């Protein structure tokens, strides 16, 4: 299989997984998807770090 096709399929699978888990509001799965140094850009300013990001998601739901 062409390497680029394989990469696109893997990215699509990740996006599909993220969308499905977001629909289920599975906030714990975010820890496994994103890097620990994630920076979430929101209207109130950047929220650095995985723990802070998950906490923000939990507070918003």
Tens digit of pLDDT for each residue in 40-50?
666 666 656 66
Q: How far apart are the first and last CA of the chain?
A: 42
The reported pLDDT for the residue numbered 16 is: 94
Q: Specify the pLDDT at position 11.
A: 92
Name the residue range of residue 26's domain. 3-60
- 30-43 residues labelled b (16+ CB within 10 A) or e (exposed): beeeeeeebebeee
Domain count across the chain? 1
Percent of the chain with pLDDT over 70: 70
- pLDDT, residue 59, reads 73
* Rounded Cα distance, 34 and 6, in Å: 21
């Amino acid at each position: 299989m062409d390497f680029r096709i394989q990469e696109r399929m893997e990215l699509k699978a990740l996006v599909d997984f993220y969308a499905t888990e977001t629909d289920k509001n599975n906030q714990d799965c975010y820890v496994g998807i994103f890097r620990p140094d994630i920076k979430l850009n929101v209207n109130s300013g950047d929220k650095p770090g995985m723990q802070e990001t998950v906490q923000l998601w939990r507070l918003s739901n």
